Amino acid sequence: MRLLKTLRNRLRLFSLILVLVAGWVGAAEKNPQSVQVRIRTILAGSKSDEFDPKLKDMERQLKPLKYRSYRSLKDDTQSVPWQGTGSFDIPGGRSLTVAPQEFQNNRVSLKVRLTEGAKPELDTTVGIQNKGNFILGGPPHEGGTLVLSISATAQ
């Protein structure tokens, strides 16, 4: 009798704890306040075999691009609010704006615009895994090619 009563009380206590934990987990999942956007600008070329040690963590992503050299030019991080816009200066008079759209199923949707001066070069909307990245490349720069790694982390 006493054992059953104790068990029942313990289960009640744990149910309460579980509800609180589940609520906390749900809140963390649904209500990120902003997105930390990181833009890494890399100059890829084929004139040397230099591989910038700062890009070590991206080596497996960059090697398939088949350039011989990779040099980090810039590494910017901004905290951008939802529906807000973060603007990043890219070498060569370019600019990249990133606007986080929504967060669903642990994926962040980003509206990305690349411009050269006032001329738009690319408009795209991309959904990436939270804390993941994608690569945008191709614009020529100083005899090489610009490669941008765009990553986002919901906060």
**Residues within the interface to other proteins (CB under 8 A):** 1-7, 10-11, 14-15, 17-18, 21-22, 24-25, 28-29, 44, 60-61, 64-67, 106-107, 109, 114, 119-139, 145
Shorter beta-carbon distance to other proteins: residue 81 or 138: 138
C-beta of 113: minimal distance to other proteins in Å? Answer: 9
Closest CA to 126 of 105, 109, 102: 109
Write a three-state SS string for 72-127.
Answer: EEEEEEEEEECCCCEEEEECCCEEEEEEEEEEECCEEEEEEEEEECCEEEEEEEEE
Question: Which residue number, 87 or 153, has a Cβ lying nearer to other proteins?
Answer: 153
Cβ at position 87, least distance to other proteins in Å: 19
Of 53 and 140, which has the nearer Cβ to other proteins? Answer: 140
